[in-house]
Amino acid sequence: MKIKLDLHNHSCLSPCGSDDMLPSLIAFEAMEKGIDILALTDHNCSRNLEPFAQACEICQILPIFGMEINTIEDIHVLTLFKHLKDAQEFGFYIETLLPNINNDPKFFGNQNIVDIEGNILSTFKKSLITTCGISLDDVINECLSRDGLVIPAHIDKKANSILSNLGFLPDLEYSALEAIRPQDIKESFNKTILQGSDAHYLEHVGRRYCFLEVDEISYEGLKKGLIDGKVSYIK
């Protein structure tokens, strides 16, 4: 079956995300746009994944629990998990690697931890927009050891991407690649290339997505679909 997939979205926990990007509203917006499998991928933190899980259950969307890790090479990498607990444990590990620099909300934006109703429970103090002390190699190893998926983000972007910062794609064990304009580069890499929203505002949820052929709407179906690579994009 062909499913609609969006694996890159930021909530109000990411300092670059709008305060209106509540996990519950992200899920409802995705439901309205027909998304079948949806990931939440805040920068370097997993603390808004629990209300995201609750909202996706209400909306009958398959949740994928993720983060967008900013490696020591300043490369953005999506790390995605089947189970909430695995994503949370990986998130707590990443938190220990963050530099001891506090966020400046007036300059960078708020880092709100919320519940499913959108109530602010607390704010995350350390800056989440910075690089953390983990290499690309170690992100891949740590994530795959937890049965996760590793997808270098927006590889055709001119900043914070694997190509812009390294100049090439190292031969490593990626689950897929993500690009803003996959049609332009899909012949250059022998990997499944996805397209995601990278949404920071509610109206951006579902602005970019892709279709993937899967046997079933499940995490296992997603993993096999990424290997088979039968993907199509927005016209």
Say which CATH number the domain at 54 has. 3.20.20.140
Q: What is the mean pLDDT of residues 20-48?
A: 98
Confidence of residue 57 (pLDDT cuts 50, 70, 90): very high
Question: What confidence score (pLDDT) does residue 85 get?
Answer: 98
Confidence of residue 235 (pLDDT cuts 50, 70, 90): low
The C-alpha atoms of residue 143 and residue 159 are separated, in whole angstroms, by 23
75 pLDDT above the threshold of 70: yes
Q: What is the mean pLDDT of residues 75-92?
A: 98
pLDDT in tens, 99-133: 999 999 999 999 999 999 999 999 999 999 999 99
Percent of the chain with pLDDT over 90: 96
30 pLDDT above the threshold of 90: yes
3-state secondary structure the chain: CEEEEECCECCCCCCCCCCCCCHHHHHHHHHHCCCCEEEEEEECCCCCHHHHHHHHHHHCCEEEEEEEEECCCCCEEEEEECCHHHHHHHHHHHHHHCCCCECCHHHHCCCEEECCCCCEEEECCECCCCCCCCCHHHHHHHHHHCCCEEEECCCCCCCCCHHHHHCCCCCCCCCCEECCCHHHHCCCCCCCEECCCCECCHHHCCCCCEEEECCCCCHHHHHHHHHHCCEEECC
Question: What confidence score (pLDDT) does residue 106 get?
Answer: 93
Domain count, the chain: 1
Tell me the residue range of the domain where 228 lies.
Answer: 2-233
Q: What is the mean pLDDT of residues 136-158?
A: 97
Q: What is the mean pLDDT of residues 212-226?
A: 98
136 pLDDT above the threshold of 90: yes
91 pLDDT above the threshold of 80: yes
208 pLDDT above the threshold of 80: yes
182 pLDDT above the threshold of 80: yes
